[in-house]
Amino acid sequence: MEMQYRIEHDSMGEVRVPADRYWGAQTERSRGNFPIGVGIETMPREIIHAFGLLKKAAAQANHALKPEKMTDRKLEVISQAADEVISGTLGEHFPLVVWQTGSGTQSNMNANEVIAARANELAGEKLCHPNDDVNMSQSSNDTFPTALHISAVLALEDKLVPAAQQLISTFLRLEKENADAVKSGRTHLQDAVPISFAQEISGWRASLERDIEMVRLAVKPLCGLALGGTAVGTGLNAPKGFAEKAARALADMTGKPFVTEDNKFHALTSKDEIVFAHGAVKAMAADMLKIANDVRWLSSGPRCGLGEIHIPENEPGSSIMPGKVNPTQCEQVTMVAVQVMGNDAAIGIAASQGNFELNVFMPVIAYNFLQSVRLLSESIAAFDANCARGITANREKMRENLDRSLMLVTALNPYIGYENAAKTAKKAFRENISLKEACVSLGFLTPERFDEVFHPENMI
C-alpha cells in the first residue's frame, strides 16, 4: 500500500509528513537531517514521558497566569493529549534519534507537534498551535534539561533503588541462613584469616545500602528544574510565577519534590547534578561488579575451583562440553557495570561542553544516563531473581578449605610471636604437614597447649 502524506509547514516552508503520524514539519525535517542510529538510538522513552509531564504542567501554569491565551478548552485537550504521551500510547509518534541538535530542540518540537495535533483531533478543530500554545512560556533550552532531571529522578527512585532494595532483602535472608558457616577469608586472592559466610554477605549488603544512600543524596539536586529560564536563563516570554507554578504542578503529578531552580543561568548551561548523580550510579555498578565476581569465584569449579557455594543452574554452559554450567548472571552484571563506567566517561565529557549560556550535549547525556539506570536496575533484578536467591553454601568445602588454610596460624601470634608463627606456616607448607605438626616439631608449643589455644571458629 502506497504511503499517504499530508503537507505541513513551518517557518522554512512546506514539508511532506506521513498522514498517519501526529508529528509536524520540524520533526520531519529532523528525521531527514539526522539519519543516524534510526530505530535503534531513538530519544529515550523516559525523556518522552517527562516531556508529556512538563507540557501538561506548563499548560496548567499558563492557564493560571494567561487564561486569555491558555483557555479552559485548550488546557483540557492539551492535558488529554499530554496524558497519552505520559502513558506511552503515542510512542510511535516520537521517531527522532539522540544524534540531533545538542539542545534537544527537535525533540521538544516533536512533543509540541504531537501534542498539538492530538489535541486538535480531540477538539475537532484546529485549536492549538505547537509553538504558541503547547510551547507557551518555554524554550527547548529550558524544557530539555527539565525533562532530563524529571526522567533521572523517576528512574533513580522508581527503578534503581527498588531493585537494589530487593537484592538487599535477599542478602539479609542469606546472612541469617549462613551465620554459622565459617570459611577462609581471602585478601589479594590469597588465603586469609577465617570469616563467616554471613559476614562476607553482609559486606555485599552494606555496600548496596551505602550506594542507595548516595543515590538518594544525588536525587535532591536533580529536583531543581530549569523550566522558566526559557532561551538563555532570563525567563524572556515567561510570565512571573510560571516557573514556580509549573514546578509545583510537576511535583503534584509525580509525587516528587520538584522545585524551580534558583539560578536558571546555571540550570541551562551546567550539568553538574547529572554528573554527580551518575557518579552514584557508577558506584553501585562498581559494587555490583565486585559482588558478581565474588559469587563466580566462590562458585568456581565444581571440582577444580573454590566450590564454596552453589548457584542456580540456569542454562547449559557450552555447545561442546556436556554438563558444563556457567555463572551467566554474574557475567551479565559485570558487562553492565563496564557499560555504566563507559557511560560515566561520556557524561563527564559531555557535561564539560557548556558554551556560554547553554550545554549542547544534552541528548547524549540523557541517553547514557538513562541507559545506565535502566541497565543496572534490570541487571540487579535479574541477578537477584536468577542467582542470588538460589545461593547455598557448600559447608563441607568451606570446612575443607578452612582446615587447609595456613593463615589460621595467625591465631598463634599472641602465644609464639609473629616470626615464629611465620616459620610454622612456611614449614607446614613446605613439608605438606599440618600447622600443629609444624608448630610442635619446631618446639614452639606442646601438643596439649596447641589444642588449648588453637580454635579457628573463634577467630571470626
CA angle 364, 366, 370 (to 5 degrees): 125
CB of 47 within 8 A of CB of 107?
yes
93 is catalytic: no
State how far the Cα of 102 lies from the Cα of 81, in Å rounded to an integer.
26
Cβ atoms of 268 and 233 closer than 8 Å:
yes
CB-CB contact of 281 with 160 (8 Å): yes
Q: What dihedral angle (degrees, nearest 10) is formed by the CA atoms of 287, 290, 291, 294?
A: -170
**Which residue in the list 103, 140, 184, 188 is annotated as catalytic?**
188
DSSP 42: B
Length of the chain equals 460
Q: Count CB atoms within 10 A of the CB of residue 263.
A: 12
* Farthest CA pair distance, the chain: 101
The answer to whether 149 is a known catalytic residue is: no
Determine contact, residues 182/456, Cβ cutoff 8 Å: yes
Angle at 119 between CA 113 and CA 124, to 5 degrees: 125
Amino acid type, 229: G
Among candidate residues 9, 87, 318, 455, the one labeled active-site is: 318
Q: For the chain, first and last CA: distance in Å? A: 74
Eight-state DSSP code of residue 11: T
Active centre residues (catalytic):
188, 318
